[in-house]
Structure 1
C-alpha cells in the first residue's frame, strides 16, 4: 500500500469532520476505523472529472487539486462515456463515480452489518465501498459485482494493494452471485427502477436489500427492503442518495430524436399548475410524482426557439407513445399553455399525481414504501402496505392556486 503522507493525513481529518457534519453525528467507531485505514485517494484513478462540465483533473498535472477532490465530501466522476474516448468536454457524460463519502457512510450505517454477515455489493466502481466493508467484516465475507471489465480489474488491483479481501466478480449485477450466497445483506451502489428478483432470492429471510431508487421522473431516494422468506420483500424509502442508473435499466430517449414528430398534432389547453411545482426544487413532490407515474420522464428546455415561450417542460412515456409540453411565456405565473399528444394525457396525469400528494399532506419520501411480491410485482404504498399509491392516478382535481407551503409555484 502506498504510504500516507502528512498532506493526506490532514485531508483525511478534514473529510472526517465534514462527513460527521453531513451525518449529523459521529460515525460509529468501527466505520471510523475503516475510514482512516482504507484511504479514499488510494481507490481513485489518476484522472478524475469534476464540476458540471466534467473538467479533467490529473494527479500528475495538478496533484494538489486532485487530492482536494479526493477528500472533499462530494462525488467525483471516475469514468466518462463508459470508458470510451470523448474528445470534446461537451461530449462527456458521467458513467462511474466515487460517491460523496457522507452518502457512503450513511448507506453503510443503514445497511446495519453485523460480524459474520455475508454481503453482496452491486456496482464495484472504484472498489472503495467494498474495501470499507471488507475492513469491517474481514476476509471471505464480501462479494462485489462490476459490469465493466476495466473497472472490475482496476478494483481488484486497488484492493490487493491495500491488503483487503473482497471477491470481485465481473458480470451483470442484476443476476447477483448465487455461488457466494445466501447473503445477510445486499447493497447496490447504482440506482434501480425495479429491484432485480435475484437480489431478493439470494438473501436470507430477515436479510436486508439496500438500493438507491430512481424513477424516470426523478432520481432520488434510498429503499431498504427486508426479505420475508416467501420470495418477497418490503420496506420504506428514505430521502437520501442519487446514484447513476444500473446500466441494464438505462433508457436512451431524446425528445426530438425519439418522441416528437412533425406529423403529430397535439391538443392545446391551459393549466394554472406551475410546471416548477412538479419538476422544480420540491424534491418531495417530484419523488411522489415519480412513484405514481413509473413510466413517465421529463426534461426542461430553457429558451426554446419558439415565439412567446421562455421555458418549456417536456413529458413523455418511456415507450415514446405519448408526450406533453408545458410552456411558460416568461411573464405570467398563474397560466401555462399545455400541448398533449398520444393515447395518454400526460399533463392531466401529472396534475392528478400532484393533487393526490397534496391531499395526502405533502408526505416526504420517508413515508413511502415498496413491496416486491414473489412474482416480481412492485407495489408502492404510503405509510402502510395496505395503502397503495394510485398508479395510474385517479382523475385530477379541479385546478386551483397552490399554497406555497407545499411547493414552489414560480419559475
Structure 2
C-alpha cells in the first residue's frame, strides 16, 4: 500500500460533513413556515434526498463517477443536496486524472440544479431567489473543482518529494554497498597474493626436499613429491577461483605490509603532517593476518586525517597482547589548520569497519573530546 492509498483510506474530516449538513439545514428552514399546500410531500423531498446523499457520500472514493451521477439525480429532487454535490465534485477533481471527466461531472450537477429550479418538484416562477440559488450552485461547484485540483496538486508535490527522498536514500545505500564490495574485493586480492606467495614457498621447499638423496628413505621422497604436487594444484585452483576478483592481466603484487612497516609508512607521510607512533607490541609476534589488517586500518585512518584535518598532529597507538586483542587507535584534533580535501568518496572509514570485521574484530570512529578518533580491536590468538 503506497502513501496515496493511505491518504484515501483516512477517515473523512469534519469539514467534509459540515458543508452538506449546513446546506441541508439551510434548505429545511422553509418548512418552518406554515401554509404549505402539500406539507407531507415537501417534507419528504426535503429530507429523503439529502439523507440519501449523505448515505452515499462515503462511497465517492471507490465510485466517484457513479456517486456524481447519483448526486445529480438527487439534486434534481431536492435543493438540500447541493452541499453534498460540492463535496462530491471536489473529491472527483482530487482523485480523477481526467479533466474532461471532472468538467462533465460539474456540468451534470449544474444542469441538475437548473432543472430543479425550472421543472423540478419545488419549481415555481423564476425570481430573484432562483438567480441567487443558481449563482450559488455554479460558483460553489467551480470552487469545489478548483479546491480538488489544488489539493491533488499539493499531494502530488508532496509525494514527489517523498519519492525523491527515497531515491536519494536508495542511492546512498547503493553507494555504501558498492564501497563495501570494493573493500571486500581489495581484501580478497590481498589474501590471494599472500596465499600465493606462501604456497609458492611450500612448493619450492617441497621440490628441494624431493631431490635431496641424503634426507632419508624413499618414503620421505615420495611424501615430498606429494607435497609439491598438492601445493601446486592448490595454487592453481586458488588462482582460478579468485581470478575474477583481481583480473587476469593484473600483475602479482608484493607481500602485503604489516605492523612492522608502520614506521616506514609514518616516515613517508610525516613530511606533510606531524605523526607520533606509539608501538606497544613486538611486530613479529602479531599474527600475519591481524598484522596486515592493522597496517591497512592505520593507513586509511592517516589518509582520512590528512584529507579532513591537514596539518593537525596525529597520534597512532598500537597495543595488545597474545590471547587478548590488538588495539589500534588513531586520533587527531578536529580544528583544521588548512583547507580540508573534499575530493574523496566519503567511504574510506567504511573500509576500516569492513577490514576489522573480516578478521573477526570491530572498529568505530567519531568525534570524542574535541578530536576525531578511529579505534579498532582485532583478535590476537595466543601462539601457544
Q: Shared topology, TM-score over 0.5?
A: no
TM-score band, normalised by shorter chain:
under 0.3
Give TM-score scaled by structure 1 length: 0.19
Q: Highest Rg: 1 or 2? A: 2
* More helix as a share of residues: 2
